[in-house]
A and B are shown apart, each in its own frame.
Chain A
């Protein structure tokens, strides 16, 4: 065993409260105090492990410094996957960090040492809820939940997939909660507090399973933290600070019955931290001797206020090793390397120590599969091996489905490994932006800088963007709004290749959906706040029978054209040919359909649309397919549906639905968001607004879901009325993906049913096999992999697939 105390790991003499080694073993994080703030520092592991690396000047020791916490950081924990780092501090906040790709050198501004950050870690989420210092955070075995405990006597369970959603708040402690640990099987979470109790909570319903108080009767709240630990085989839970006959111990609690018969005795002051080795061991096989298969055992490290550290094996009655006076002050945190052979210990005196064990000393570690096998045999299914984040007990029944699931995982793995390859390229420090080096930019900045004057005479500077933001989540390209220029209109009109006029009856099923709300006089006026649209949506949903096109294209927006037939306006239109000259002129303009000499629009009055007297028609276009589109000055765009002889609202610049819709999660990772086509051109909206507003509007989740659905349905319908097959396909897939992600089975089923059509031929069926030129069944085939990504829809998936197979075989 080797002991090393790297002096370069420090917070400038200030205490280090927490340490955690990254699951891949290449780095570790420390949390503690900084200057007027909390400090989280990420260090390189190799200089600790290898002396040569320590001496090598080129190998960086400190990888990143984060000073964002407003007060001392009490706990830092890496997620099991290694993607996130959670830090909790005295400022009542928990920050979740994610690695960002290298976009230029950065230092911690204001730090006395001008150390450049080798890696970039960005705070992706700040979790606010606690009303007191956060003492400990812990990730659940499958990274679906993040638990945090605080001096406000509560434990909060956060949804790690959807920050900052809170799943549960565990109230029950009557004292400061100072430590948390998850059961490796995922069934329980245990917490220890100053109220002299250790409580175990069930994850099934987040209720209290048991509260253990006997070993803690004589305890006082003498320690800063009470970090407890659960053994990797799930059998034992070891508490921090307990008392036995006035002697400080670490109580061992057995899972079966929560019995408290054993404890770790020997420390002279309160035990602050207990940490189990993540590996389960078995006795080393000696060569030649056919030793009987020994029981697997675990290894545990105990740190105490008496500044000493002890390491125990559960198969031995005495500790494996005890190191006295390892530090000058109390031990605060312990972290094992994932291979189980190293420990990092940190202390209030601001230093860390590293213990390096060899396999001879500890034993043979079991592999992960063997560990899962033990879990399975003892407890049944373990949470840690679930691929899905939700606590469902779904078994994948269809092999095809399994294939899609695997592919999805593979993609995720690729995405994860891609950033891991980055460090190699990130070595260069000189930042280059657009071919110019940062230095040149600096010199020319004053000349290049754009300065303007605002309305009240103030100086306004437009900052020069030197780097884009990248958190891995967002697409880095920002799309500017496409200006609707005259040339565009030109291209639309001048398309001489004349596609055949598509059978308009294919759009009738959807148009029927549109006509329904037309007949209902809904007196909706004014702006449409998200709440209103939701109501309309639900009203329409109930009114349209299921026989209609299942895409539920009862877009509330279609109510608009029919709204408020302003009698005032009609009078005026009759009286003065001035403003309405346009209205009478336009029909004739469109009549001259170059390709088909078909009178598309005949004497169509625009009365129903031009409700406000100050609205003017700003532009008229003809799409490739001969659909007339009219742009109004208030940002709305209508397209004419010849079969119904109505104008349908296709785009509205002030559409609050679009602003509230948040379908980020269903965007395909590789495709560009831009789907070119008439719909995109008309809408010309920045795709950013949805994301922005999604954060500005703190709408409840359900409302946001509804608005996103309504928005997506609108888009599909709009693409359909514009006869734009490419966009229809794009939006339909997006919509389906959103439904899959959010779990809306009914609507998904309806879509599939419509796309599938009748499997066996039957006369009298109104089903059309194509929509806007695309074969519906082909669309369904494209949809299948999307559906296959959510295990909950596997029945649907299987059904659709079988039907498609039958059709194919016919």
Chain B
């Protein structure tokens, strides 16, 4: 089976830091799938290490007949206390991954720019980030890493 992501639209961008992420995902599937696809949104707290990654939400999508489909994936904002202070304001990454039978086959990433909309705060940022003021701005440029794998005869590729 071939699953390919047709489009991911970011709804309400930019938005305040605490508002949820909303992605509208369209994908296409060449055959009906026996099981559900599992989609996850991961917020990369810091590029330094993976331990700062927060899985904002994971959702099962199904049943998936053949054809094109669309759904809205809404996930809560990341927990600011888990983000290291130095990386909070600035550019980081949010990932949308999809797995089937536990194996990841596509990963779409967005650069997130967290910045103070208030120009004053931008110039003189407080030492401790004030999240009430920060709004993540998802840049429209995104990157994707596609992959394919075989799993016991059922090959799901993207």
- The answer on A and B forming one complex is yes
Chain A residues within CB distance 8 Å of chain B: 36-37, 70, 103-104, 106-107, 109-110, 112, 122-123, 441-442, 445-446, 449, 454, 458-469, 478, 688, 692, 695-696, 698
Assess the A696–B60 pair: CB atoms within 8 A: no
**Can you spell out 20 A-B residue pairs with CB atoms less than 8 angstroms apart?**
A36-B145, A109-B5, A109-B6, A109-B108, A110-B142, A112-B141, A123-B2, A445-B70, A446-B72, A460-B60, A463-B62, A464-B70, A465-B65, A465-B68, A466-B69, A468-B68, A469-B28, A469-B66, A469-B67, A698-B153
What are the residues of chain B within 8 A of A465 when measuring CB–CB?
65, 67-69
Assess the B32–A692 pair: CB atoms within 8 A: yes
Cβ of B52 under 8 Å from chain A? no
Among the listed A36, A110, A692, which residue makes an inter-chain contact with B31, where contact means beta carbons less than 8 Å apart?
A: A692
Cβ of B59 under 8 Å from chain A? yes
Cβ of B85 to closest chain A Cβ, rounded Å: 32
Using A688-B32, A695-B31 as known contacts, say yes or no to A458 and B68 having CB atoms under 8 A apart: no
Cβ of B154 under 8 Å from chain A? yes
**A471 (CB) vs chain B CBs: closest residue:** B30
CA distance A446 to B25 in the complex (A): 12
Cβ of A16 to closest chain B Cβ, rounded Å: 22
CA distance A459 to B74 in the complex (A): 11
What are the residues of chain A within 8 A of B7 when measuring CB–CB?
107, 109
Assess the B69–A464 pair: CB atoms within 8 A: yes
**A454 (CB) vs chain B CBs: closest residue:** B60
Q: Other CB < 8 Å A-B pairs besides A463-B69, A465-B65, A469-B29, 15 of them?
A: A36-B145, A104-B68, A109-B8, A442-B24, A445-B71, A445-B72, A446-B72, A460-B36, A460-B59, A463-B70, A464-B69, A468-B68, A469-B66, A692-B32, A696-B34
Assess the A464–B71 pair: CB atoms within 8 A: yes
Cβ of B99 under 8 Å from chain A? no
Cβ of B92 under 8 Å from chain A? no
Assess the A109–B59 pair: CB atoms within 8 A: no
Cβ of B113 under 8 Å from chain A? no
Contact with A along B40-75 (1 / 0, CB 8 A): 000000000000000001111111111111111110
Cβ of B122 under 8 Å from chain A? no
Assess the B142–A441 pair: CB atoms within 8 A: no
Assess the A458–B67 pair: CB atoms within 8 A: no
What are the residues of chain A within 8 A of B71 when measuring CB–CB?
445, 449, 461-464
Cβ of A122 to closest chain B Cβ, rounded Å: 8
CA distance A461 to B70 in the complex (A): 10
What are the residues of chain B within 8 A of A462 when measuring CB–CB?
61-63, 71
Assess the B69–A696 pair: CB atoms within 8 A: no
What are the residues of chain A within 8 A of B57 when measuring CB–CB?
459
Using A458-B60, A696-B154 as known contacts, say yes or no to A466 and B68 having CB atoms under 8 A apart: yes
What are the residues of chain B within 8 A of A698 when measuring CB–CB?
153
Contact with A along B128-158 (1 / 0, CB 8 A): 0000000000000111111010000110000
Assess the A445–B24 pair: CB atoms within 8 A: yes
Assess the A466–B70 pair: CB atoms within 8 A: yes
Cβ of B93 to closest chain A Cβ, rounded Å: 15
The residue in B57, B59, B62, B68 that gathers the most chain A C-beta atoms within 10 A of its C-beta is B68
